[in-house]
Amino acid sequence: MRLKRIVLLAGLPLVGLGVWSLSRLTAQEGRPLVDRFRQVDANSDQKITRTELTDSALFDKLDADKNNEVTLEEAREAYRSGVLTREMIEGSAPKPVPDPGPQPESSLSAASLKQTAKRIRPADHGIGQLMPDFVFKDLAGAEHHLRGFKDSEAVVVCMTSTSCPLSKKYLPTLAELTKEYAPKKVQFIAVNCVPTDRLEDQQKASQQLASETLYVNDSEEAMARHVGAVSTTDVLVLDRAGVVVYHGAIDDQYGIGYALDAPKQNLLKDALQEVLAGKPVSVPATKAPGCVLDLEPREVTQNSITWHNRVSRIIIQNCLECHREGGVGPFSLATRDEVIAHAAMIRQVVDNRTMPPWFAAAPASGHSVWGNDRSLTDADRKDLLSWLAGDRPEGDPADAAKLPEFAGEWSLGKPDYIVQIPNPIAIKATGTMPYQFVTAQTDLPEDRWVQGYEILPTDRSVVHHVIVNVHEPGSGRIIDREEGVGGYWAAYVPGNPGQMYPEGFARKLPAGARISFQIHYTPSGTATTEQLRIGLHFADKEPQYVVTTIPLADRDLNIPPNEANHVESLSRPVPTDIPVLAYMAHMHVRGKAFRFDVETPDGKKETLLDIPHYDFNWQLRYDYAEPKMIPKGSRFTVTAVFDNSVDNPANPDPNKTVHWGQQTFDEMMIGYVETYLPVGETPRARRNLAAAGAGEMLFDTLDTNGDGLLSKDEARKAADRAPRLKDRPEILERLFDRMDEDKDGKLSKDDFGRHREQLGRKQ
């Protein structure tokens, strides 16, 4: 199924609605619905006819009063009740013109789900409106009036939350701004607007702000509702007269799905500078990506679905593994109150299918081949959205589900052997960090077979992903080698902290081995230290099969600047039968889509895994329910799409030509294939799959004139790829002359590949 995303546009002005209620309605009840309504309403008469919406089935669902006209309110009601879904909205969009290039259509059809601080129409965000007064109390119990700060040059109302990850990341930035501008007669009010946030956490957060800052426990969400807040990172600036002059994000350093080392736009700071200088705010309204607030009154529904009889079980089955006390999720969803407190955010991420995290395209057959498929069933998704859209009845306590008991510190149980990195690593509070490379020595006197592993950070909030490799004694000095060279022995990514293989399958840990950890840390808003561990579960006996990982890596990346849909593809022949257990795709922040394909010896082509929306923050494993055999003589192809444009908010520099590199400001393209072979069988053929075709790729790279022949001058460029040859050009000359059997000064692709393999065997 092709997944389409609609770019959020400016909101549609509606007759009879004030600016404040409009901003809440469009933000809370589905902005894509408003945008889509505006697109379909060709004559802008605020009604849709059958001529404008040609999908008869969808039109009938929307036309509640059967008058052959659909109003926005009818569409809203259908959306609230779950009759109309985001998928239906997007499915009515005009079909994009297919790109004639080699890119997978399903991959290119999915726009990024990243959210950043984009400009929006000021009128839709209350700019220029006089803010009514509001009485509130700070954490100390003192009463204040929102319009009572007569001596202040400006009042800044900042939404925040001690449980929202983006609010936590922005707390240090907010603290710096309060300390910088409080002496300039700017009054800051921090409003914690998530009802289930703990008071002790709020008190701790308030201590990081300037002493003049007022911190409000808005547990009833009254103040957030009054000012028209949209998310937990929303900020409003009022001038001396109480007029809203800025409403939006603090800056663009953090957003949904990305983080930058420093902001590109200091939106709040620039707005304050302009207000203090008596100038109009140049960028008065932006989106503020954060945890979406749900501030509209709910309608009473006659719904048989209740928390106890249905919804709690959906949450337990699909969410509680991470979203519980002590889980990897940023907040708990174990109770109805906790779910309601985060209802708007849940509705958004369930509606756009980013939660539960699963990014494989739906199979055409409707039957999932993945053993770890986390996606919601259609029935669960519909019932959850329907309950969230209504008044969320509790139901009969007699129907209550029993909460599961989770394992303690180690989710796979206490391991047999634990390896920890030698020293804690200091993690800064904000920005980004380069990859860390650490080694640890094991002390096992004999080889062991590892059936399962779990990587356990001491601070999960700052660990993005970990690549682990094992090095036998005598393997030489371990350097910070690049990913993709030898696959991985173990890996940690959000949602996949470990793996337990079936009986008879294991990975080998040689006696006295060293273990290397390549760790990507992401600051979370608070400086901390981290010293992760890996826990190993040993097999009781020698297994039948040893698990290995094959990296299909394209190291010759050349991603042009300002290119939104740059495609890279890598193809490899399969030298032996390959039984596949799982796949994992790896790119960096410009990665947009990824696909694994195979062509079998009989010419049949098959898409093995399509990830139409690749998310750097969720590098999931995709495990087959049953191993899939790729026959000898097939051809693997991995295809990736990169977004190096200014529209990618995670892009460090859209004006840069990007090549392969370890850090996130560089790029990678690796398709990991996890396979196995009988114990005792040489893995050479498996390794050859990763290397197969490398000579062909090198030939094409060196053949700059594209004539299918390699001259000696073209071959000399190979020295740039082999540092040892730069100072010894005579070696390259001799190699070329040996390959050039007919002495015509040219090499064909077949001759180059054949001689390259022969030279490799002699080494």
Residue 453 has a pLDDT of 95
Domain boundary, last residue among 540, 569, 603? 540
Whether the CA torsion 40, 43, 44, 48 is positive or negative: it is: negative
Do 80 and 128 reside in the same domain of the chain? no
The mean per-residue pLDDT over the stretch 23-50 comes to 58
* Domain stops at, among 473, 507, 540: 540
Q: Is 143 a residue whose pLDDT tops 80? A: yes
pLDDT in tens, 196-216: 999 999 999 999 999 999 999
**271-275, 633-637, 692-696, 716-720: range with lowest mean pLDDT:** 692-696
With a cut of 70, say whether residue 704 has pLDDT above it: no
Pick the residue with more confidence: 494 or 604? 604
Tell me the pLDDT tens digit for each residue of 441-482.
999 999 999 999 999 999 888 888 888 988 888 765 554 544
**Most confident option among 144-153, 347-356, 672-681:** 144-153
On whether residue 111 sits in a domain, the answer given is: no
> How many other C-beta atoms lie within 10 A of the C-beta of residue 245?
21
Query: Residue 271: what pLDDT?
Result: 94
In a domain, 6, yes or no: no
Same domain, 447 and 529: yes
> Average pLDDT for residues 145-158, to the nearest whole number?
94
Q: Which of 94-98, 200-204, 260-264, 345-349 has the lowest mean pLDDT?
A: 94-98
Q: Is 725 among the domain residues? A: yes
- Is 112 among the domain residues? no
The neighbouring-strand residues paired with 448 are 509
Q: What percent of the chain has pLDDT over 70?
A: 79
* Domain presence at residue 45: yes
pLDDT tens per residue across span 592-628? 999 999 999 999 999 999 999 898 878 888 988 888 9
Average pLDDT over residues 703-709: 70
Task: Give the C-alpha separation, 726 to 717, whole Å.
Answer: 10
Within 13 Å, how many C-alpha atoms sit on residue 50's CB side? 8
Instruction: State yes or no: pLDDT of 636 exceeds 80.
Output: yes
Domain assignment of residue 78, given as a range: 19-95
| Residue 80 confidence (pLDDT) | 65
State residue 144's pLDDT score.
Answer: 95
In a domain, 34, yes or no: yes
CA distance 228 to 621: 40
Look up the CATH number of the domain holding residue 140: 3.40.30.10
Residue 189 — φ and ψ, nearest 5°? -125, 115
User: Considering the domain boundaries, does residue 504 fall inside one?
Assistant: yes
Count of CB atoms situated within 10 Å of the CB of 718: 16
From CA 310, how far away is CA 489, in angstroms rounded?
41
Task: Clarify whether residues 566 and 677 are in a common domain.
Answer: yes
Q: Which residue is associated with the tokens 């306590």? A: 397
Question: If you compute the radius of gyration of the chain from its CA atoms, what whole number of angstroms results?
Answer: 29
* DSSP summary character for residue 639: E
pLDDT given at position 71: 84
State the pLDDT confidence band at 35, using cuts at 50, 70 and 90.
low
Angle CA 101–689–360, to nearest 5: 50
Q: How far apart are CA 233 and CA 663, in angstroms?
A: 28
Query: What is the pLDDT confidence band of residue 49, given thresholds at 50, 70 and 90?
Result: confident
List the end-to-end C-alpha distance of the chain, in Å, as a whole number: 48
Please give the average per-residue pLDDT across 555-584, as a whole number. 90
Instruction: Indicate whether 495 pLDDT > 80.
Output: no
Asked whether residue 462 falls in the same domain as residue 521, the answer is yes
Q: What is the mean pLDDT of the chain?
A: 80
How far apart CA 544 and CA 603 sit, in angstroms, is 33
Q: Are residues 687 and 703 located together in one domain of the fold?
A: no
Highest mean pLDDT among 79-88, 254-263, 299-308, 650-659: 650-659
The residue that leads in pLDDT, 106 or 12, is 106
Report the predicted TM-score, pTM, of the whole model to 2 decimal places. 0.63
Using pLDDT thresholds of 50, 70 and 90, give the confidence band for residue 3.
very low
Greater confidence (617 vs 527) lies with 527
Residue 640 — φ and ψ, nearest 5°? -130, 150
Rounded CA-CA distance 560/563 in Å is 6
Whether residues 552 and 617 fall in one domain? yes
Residue 655 and residue 570: Cα distance in Å, rounded? 25
* Cβ proximity of 191 and 158 under 8 Å: yes
* Band of residue 569 on the pLDDT scale cut at 50, 70, 90: very high
Residue 730 has pLDDT above 80, yes or no: no
Domain of 52, CATH number, reads 1.10.238.10
Q: Is the pLDDT of residue 734 over 70?
A: yes
Same domain assignment for residues 262 and 147: yes
Domain count, the chain: 6
**101 pLDDT more than 80:** no
Q: Does residue 286 lie within any of the structural domains? A: no
User: H helices within 360-448, ranges in order?
Assistant: 378-389
Tell me the mean pLDDT in the region 29-40: 60
* Rounded percentage of the chain residues whose pLDDT exceeds 90: 36
Beta bridge partners of 113: none
Tell me the backbone φ, ψ of residue 27, rounded to 5 degrees: -75, -40
130 and 231 together in one domain: yes
| Residue-level length of the chain | 763
Average pLDDT over residues 509-523: 90
Separation of alpha carbons 262 and 142, rounded Å: 36
pLDDT at 579: 92
Residues 529 and 558 reside in one and the same domain: no
Both 137 and 244 in a single domain? yes
Q: Does residue 162 register a pLDDT over 70? A: yes
Residue 568: predicted pLDDT: 93
Q: Which of 52-56, 292-296, 675-679 has the lowest mean pLDDT?
A: 52-56
The burial of 594, by beta-carbon neighbours within 10 Å (0-12 exposed, 13-18 middle, 19 or more buried), is given as buried
Q: Which of 258, 276, 294 is the last residue of a domain?
A: 276
Contact status, residue 513 vs residue 470, Cβ threshold 8 Å: yes
Claim to verify: residue 150 and residue 27 sit in the same structural domain: no
Separation CA 282–CA 707 (nearest Å): 55
Number of H helices, E strands in the chain: 20, 32
Do 596 and 666 fall within a single domain? yes
Average pLDDT over residues 309-337: 86
